[in-house]
Amino acid sequence: MEFTIKTATPEKFRAGILVAGAFADGALPAPTAVLDKAADGRIAALIKRGDLDEKAGSTLLLHELPGAAAERVLLVSLGKAEDFGDKAYRDALGAAAKALSASAAKDAGVLLADTDMAARTLDWRLQQAARILADGAYRFDAPKSGKDAKKERGAKKVTLLIAGKVSAALETAVRRGQAIAEGMALAKDLGNQAGNVCTPTHLAHTAQALGKHFKFDVDVLDRDDIEKLGMGSFLSVARGSHEPPKFIVMHYKGGRSKAKPVVLVGKGITFDTGGISLKPGAEMDEMKFDMCGAASVLGTFKAIARMGLPINVVGILPATENMPGGRATKPGDVVTSMSGQTIEILNTDAEGRLILCDALTYAERFKPACVIDIATLTGACVVALGKIPSGLLANDDELAAELLRRGTDSGDRAWQLPLWEEYQELLKSNFADMGNIGGRYAGTITAACFLARFAKSYKWAHLDIAGTAWVSGDAKGATGRPVPLLSEFLIGRADGKAG
Ligand code: BES
Ligand code: MN
Ligand code: ZN
C-alpha cells in the first residue's frame, strides 16, 4: 500500500472511495461536515434516519454522493462523541481497512485522522491510520491451487487527507506506521507458514536475508557451536528432532557505537509436539505458531531497519522443533544450562523456558540496556488473560511501566502479573537446582520465575504472547503481535523518551 498525506478539500478529492467519519449522535467531524454541506445535508439526513449503526466501526457505503468528486463515500461511525478515544478511533480505522481491502476502488482518500482527539496528536493519529490500513491489506499467499488462489482486490493508493499543512514530522509518522505494518506482515507470514516450511533453517535464512537487505550483521550458530557454548538446556529440546537447531543472532546498529543495546529474545519453536510429554491431538496444528516470538523479533527488526531508527538492538532467536524420538529428552532427565545451573526436566512440553534460559545467559555478553524476551510460553496465560493483552512480567518496574505505556500507545497492549519471590519455591527439585515446571497453579508466573533465574544481571521483561500471537477458528492466522508494541518501545527509546 502506498501512502501520501495531503492538505485537501474533501468534496473535491477525486478517488475510487473516500472514507469519512461520523459520530453516533449525528455530530460531524470538520471534514465530514464540509462534505455534508457540499451534499446539501444528505449525510446528516441519512444518519438522522438511522442508516448508520451507532457502534464505532459500523459502516455505510454511499454511491455517487451529490457534491462529492469521489466515486464512493464510506461513512464510518466513530461511536458516541463523548466516548471517542483510542478504541473507537482504531475500530473505525479497522472497519475502513476491511472495506478498502475488499473494495473495487483502486485508490482511496481517508479523512479519519483529521478528527480532533483530546489526548492524541495528529502525528499519533496518522501513524495509527497508516499502520492499521496497511495491516488490513495483509493477505497470506496460502499455497492453494485453483483460480481463486490469488485475486487482486482492494485500494493500493491511499491519501490521508488533513486540513492543515503537511510537515516532515507528519511524513515520519506515516512512514513509521507503514514500517510497523510491514514488520507485522513478515511476522504473520512466518507464523502462518506450515511447520515443514518454516523450520529453524528457514528462520535463519530469513534473518540472513533481512541482514543482507538492510545491511546489518547476522550470525547463525549450528549445533556444534551451540554445544561449544555449553547450551545443554537448549540442546536438550532439539534432541528428538531431525531438523537441525539454529541459534540466530542479529545486530542492528543504528545508534552510537558505545550505546548499550536493547536485546530482544524470541522463542523459536517451529513445532511443539510436547516431546515425550506428548500433547493431545486436538488443535495440535496450532503449535506451528510456537515460533511467533522469534517471528515478532524478525518483524520488529524489519520495522526498525525500514525506519532507520537510531538505536542499537540485538536479536537472539533460539530455534528448534520439539519432537519425540529415540534420542529425545525424557521426563526426569537432568541437564546443565549455559549458566551452569542444572535443570530436572519434569515435563518435556515446558520446552520454551529451556531454550530461552540459554539465550538469556548468552545475552549477558552484550551488556544490554535491557532484555525483553517474547514467547508463546504458557497455555495458562490464555486462561488468565484471554486473547486481549500479552502477559508481562519483569524484574524492573520502570521497564514494565514503559512497556505497558507503549502497549497503550500502540494498541498492542500487555498486562502485568507479579513476579514475587514467594513463587520461586514452586520450582524446587530433589535432583537438580530446579525443575522446569511449577505445578498446577500460576503457570505463567512460575514460567517467568524460571526465566528470572537466568536474567539476574540486567533489567529484564518477559512477554507471554500465547494468547495474542495468533487467532483460532475461521480466521485462523498469526496476528503480527507484539511487533507494534516492540516497535513503539524502540521508537520511544530512540526518541530519547524512556518513560
Ligand atoms: N507452546 C506451549 C504453550 C502454549 C500452549 C501456547 C497452548 C499457546 C497455546 C508451551 O510450550 C507449553 O506447552 N507449555 C505448557 C507448560 C506446562 C507443561 C507447564 C502448557 O502451557 O501447558
Ligand atoms: Mn510445549
Ligand atoms: Zn511451546
143 pLDDT higher than 90:
no
Whether 272 is in the pocket of ligand 1, judged by its Cβ within 6 Å, is yes
Whether 376 is in the pocket of ligand 1, judged by its Cβ within 6 Å, is yes
For the residues 179-202, what does the mean pLDDT come to? 98
Whether 321 is in the pocket of ligand 1, judged by its Cβ within 6 Å, is no
| Atom nearest to 287 CA in ligand 1 | 1
| Kind plus residue range of the DSSP H or E element containing 352 | helix 352-363
2-7 and 157-162: which strand pairing?
parallel
pLDDT tens column, 347-395: 999 999 999 999 999 999 999 999 999 999 999 999 999 999 999 999 9
Neighbours of 105 (CB within 10 A): 22
Whether 347 is in the pocket of ligand 1, judged by its Cβ within 6 Å, is yes
Given pLDDT bands bounded at 50, 70 and 90, which one contains residue 233? very high
Whether 380 is in the pocket of ligand 1, judged by its Cβ within 6 Å, is yes
Q: Which residues contact 280 (CB under 8 A, 6 or more apart)?
A: none
| Atom nearest to 351 CA in ligand 1 | 11
For the residues 455-471, what does the mean pLDDT come to? 99
Number of the ligand closest to the Cα of 269 = 3
The whole-chain average pLDDT of the chain stands at 97
Whether 244 is in the pocket of ligand 1, judged by its Cβ within 6 Å, is no
Nearest CA to ligand 1 atom 22: 379
Query: How far, in Å, CA of 466 to CA of 391, rounded?
Result: 8
What distance in angstroms lies between residue 226's CA and the mean position of ligand 1's atoms? 24
What distance in angstroms lies between residue 186's CA and the mean position of ligand 2's atoms? 24
What distance in angstroms lies between residue 188's CA and the mean position of ligand 3's atoms? 18
Q: Which residues contact 215 (CB under 8 A, 6 or more apart)?
A: none
What distance in angstroms lies between residue 484's CA and the mean position of ligand 3's atoms? 23
188 pLDDT higher than 70:
yes
Residue ranges in 229-349 assigned as alpha helix (H):
232-238, 292-307
Query: How far, in Å, CA of 204 to CA of 317, rounded?
Result: 9
**Which three cell numbers, joined as nine digits, stand for 122?**
495528529
498 pLDDT higher than 80:
no
Neighbours of 101 (CB within 10 A): 17
What distance in angstroms lies between residue 288's CA and the mean position of ligand 3's atoms? 9
| Atom nearest to 376 CA in ligand 1 | 6
pLDDT at 146: 74
In CATH terms, the fold of domain 2-166 is: Leucine Aminopeptidase, subunit E; domain 1 (3.40.220)
Given pLDDT bands bounded at 50, 70 and 90, which one contains residue 207? very high
Nearest CA to ligand 1 atom 3: 378
Is residue 267 within 8 A of residue 187, CB to CB? The reply is no
For the residues 241-264, what does the mean pLDDT come to? 98
Whether 290 is in the pocket of ligand 1, judged by its Cβ within 6 Å, is yes
Domain ranges of the chain: 2-166, 183-494
245 pLDDT higher than 80:
yes
pLDDT at 149: 56
Cα distances from 400 to residues 123, 364, 421, in angstroms, run 25, 20, 17
In the three-class reduction of DSSP (H, G, I as helix; E, B as strand; rest coil), residue 323 is classed as coil
For the residues 127-141, what does the mean pLDDT come to? 97
Whether 443 is in the pocket of ligand 1, judged by its Cβ within 6 Å, is yes
What predicted TM-score, i.e. pTM, was given to this entire model? 0.98
Number of the ligand closest to the Cα of 320 = 3
Is residue 318 within 8 A of residue 355, CB to CB? The reply is yes
Is residue 402 within 8 A of residue 499, CB to CB? The reply is yes
Query: How far, in Å, CA of 71 to CA of 62, rounded?
Result: 9
pLDDT at 145: 84
End-to-end CA distance of the chain: 32
pLDDT at 220: 99
Cα distances from 193 to residues 203, 248, 340, in angstroms, run 11, 19, 36
Amino acid identity of residue 318, one-letter, is P
For 388, half-sphere exposure in the C-beta direction (CA atoms, 13 angstrom radius) is: 7
Domain 183-494 has CATH 3.30.70.1140: no
Whether 466 is in the pocket of ligand 1, judged by its Cβ within 6 Å, is yes
What distance in angstroms lies between residue 403's CA and the mean position of ligand 2's atoms? 26
Query: How far, in Å, CA of 467 to CA of 391, rounded?
Result: 9
pLDDT at 499: 52
pLDDT tens column, 384-439: 999 999 999 999 999 999 999 999 999 999 999 999 999 999 999 999 999 999 99
Is residue 69 within 8 A of residue 14, CB to CB? The reply is yes
Query: How far, in Å, CA of 377 to CA of 19, rounded?
Result: 40
pLDDT at 496: 87
Whether 467 is in the pocket of ligand 1, judged by its Cβ within 6 Å, is no
Query: How far, in Å, CA of 363 to CA of 366, rounded?
Result: 6
232 pLDDT higher than 70:
yes
| Atom nearest to 467 CA in ligand 1 | 8
Is residue 395 within 8 A of residue 455, CB to CB? The reply is yes
Query: Can you give the length of the chain in residues?
Result: 499
Given pLDDT bands bounded at 50, 70 and 90, which one contains residue 172? very high
What are the residue numbers of the active site?
279, 353
pLDDT at 160: 98
Number of the ligand closest to the Cα of 285 = 1
Is residue 389 within 8 A of residue 378, CB to CB? The reply is no
pLDDT tens column, 36-81: 999 999 999 999 999 999 999 999 999 999 999 999 999 999 999 9
From 349, 353, 436, mutation site for ligand 1 pocket: most ligand atoms within 8 A of C-beta:
349
What distance in angstroms lies between residue 277's CA and the mean position of ligand 3's atoms? 12
From 378, 464, 470, 471, mutation site for ligand 1 pocket: most ligand atoms within 8 A of C-beta:
378
What distance in angstroms lies between residue 323's CA and the mean position of ligand 2's atoms? 10
